Homo-oligomer: A and B are copies of this chain.
Amino acid sequence: MLSKKTKYGLKALTYLARQEGNTPVQVGEIAVNENIPQKFLESILLTLRKSGCLGSKKGKHGGYYLIKKPSDIIMADVMRVLEGPIALVPCVSLNFYEKCDDCPDEITCSVHKLMIQVRDSTLNVFRNNTLADVCKTSKDENFIK
């Protein structure tokens, strides 16, 4: 299950991507429009900024803004920042690998093999979607099913 953190983070990113210029948008504005608790959103945007997904400006008229074009923001990267590993098991994770302590042998582990398939198929989706893709709704003209 997706955490609220991730869900809120994704919504905030799409909100920013839909902005006209690149002027900073305040947390409060995003929070109100996307129904997200403001203080919680604050901490989420902070981690997104620290990981290089977002830029920020402090003080009056400050806020957050995208530092890359939406079409250059790969969802796999965003998901890893917000949700952590994409794999369902650490032993098949590309970026967060860990050995299972209860598994004598990965090669013969049947769970392992199944989970690699799931990882690859999920990764395929997240790698082939940019923030720009995600922003297109089914209402948009150029939306291709």
Interface residues of A (CB under 8 A from B): 1-2, 7, 10-11, 14, 34-36, 75, 85, 88-89, 102-104, 107-111, 113-115, 117-118, 121-122, 124-126, 129, 134-139
Contacts and interface: CB of A to CB of B under 8 A. Distances in A.
A111 B11 contact: yes
Contact of A121 (B108, B125, B139): B125
Nearest to A11: B111
B118 A122 contact: yes
A125 B134 contact: no
Contacts of A89: 1-2, 7
For A11, A36, A118, which residue has the most chain B Cβ atoms within 10 angstroms?
A118
Contact of A107 (B2, B34, B135, B137): B137
Contacts of A136: 110
B117 A129 contact: yes
Nearest to A118: B125
Contact of A35 (B35, B102, B124, B139): B102
